Homo-oligomer: A and B are copies of this chain.
Amino acid sequence: MLVDIAAKAKEVFAANIAPLGLPVPLARAIVMLGQPAPMGALAEQLDCDPSYITGLADQMEQRGLVERVTGGDRRVKLLALTPAGQQTRDQIATIVASTALVQAKLGDSERKALASLLEKLLS
């Protein structure tokens, strides 16, 4: 059931952000980039290989949503949202808040109960 629901949640998410013309993995990355972050850190957050981030970053950059900025350690590249990227991130947040499966099907107290169960599962 968990797997089914996650698949459905993903599907709902994909359908709702479709108007933005953004593949799901890119949207997930953008959501993570509330603050500029090294590519390696993003790989950890998304639990994927660093090499995969390179591709995501390329696509986001092409779309003008992020920039690679170099800081003190010149090996490290921070991914920072551009204004367009920020705007996209806000749009995603708005869409999710209003259409997510969990919001649609569950009441407030149920959501809290679910959240605490899920936290326990992740611990």
The binding surface of chain A is classed by DSSP as: helix
Indicate how many identical chains form the complex. Answer: 2
- Residue in B47, B118, B123 whose CB lies within 8 Å of A2: B118
Q: Is the CB of A5 within 8 A of B123?
A: no
CA distance A122 to B4 in the complex (A): 8
The answer to the question of A97 belonging to the interface, with a C-beta cut-off of 8 Å to chain B, is no
Chain B residue nearest to A3 (CB atoms) is B6
Q: Which of A70-78, A80-88, A102-110 contacts B (4 or more CB under 8 A)?
A: A102-110
CA distance A101 to B1 in the complex (A): 13
Binding site for B on A (CB under 8 A): 1-10, 47, 101-102, 105-106, 110, 113-115, 117-123
